[in-house]
Structures are given as structure tokens and as C-alpha cells.
Amino acid sequence: MQMKNKILIADDDAEMLETLSSMLEGEGYTVVRAENGEEAVELARKELPALVMLDIHMPKMDGLKACKAIKTDKVTKGVPVLMLTVEGSINEIQQAISYGAKTYITKPSSKAEILKVVKSILY
């Protein structure tokens, strides 16, 4: 069963992962962490989060491939995906959206902006 307040965050930047996790936990969300795309795909299947936040540039499997894997898997295809990107390359963002991502956030973003996007997807 999917939990409305469980968010999976995948980012290979430990500091970014910690910042996003503590921000979301402070708002009452349960956070599951992954350090690469492969781990994110596995955890999405196992945990069935209400939202997956994927960094585009990660080792082992990048966020685009992870997004595609999550959105084409019958178990996780209904889970919304939010992409995180540093430079916001239009090509990468268009590719992520074509794979099924809901939207994207460029890093760094303000806490208010991140929470607004998360809430707009979840509620």
C-alpha cells in the first residue's frame, strides 16, 4: 500500500540528500534515501513511496534511466516522479517528462519552492 507521506529521494550528493531529507522530515514526511538510480528503482518497488525525487546526474544509473524504469514497471508506474537538476538542461528535462516525470526542480531551490512543488504533486 502506498503511503501518502513517504518520499524517496535519490541523489549522489550526500549533502543535498541530507538537506532535502531533513527539510521534508521537518514537514512530517517519511523519507527513504537512495544514492544512485539503481538503488532508487529497487527502493521504489520495495517501499512504494507517494513520490520519487530523482537527481538527473548519478552513478550506476542516472535519473533519466531510473525515471524510465520506475514509470514502465507495473508496480511503480503510478508513483509520481520529480526530477532534480543542477543546470536544468532543456533536453534532459524534456526527456524526463517524456519518460513520465511530473515536473522538475533546479538545484538549489528555496525550501518554500520545493515544498510547494511536493505538495502540488501529493495533494
Number of continuous H segments (helices) and E segments (strands) in the chain: 5, 5
Q: Which of 92, 101, 81, 33 is nearest to 57 (CA)?
A: 92
Read off the pTM.
Answer: 0.94
Question: Whose grid coordinates read 550506476?
Answer: 60
Could you confirm whether domain 6-122 is CATH 3.40.50.2300? yes
What is the model's pLDDT at position 3?
Answer: 60
pLDDT single digits (tens) 6-35: 999 999 999 999 999 999 999 999 999 999
What are the sequence ranges of the domains in the chain? 6-122
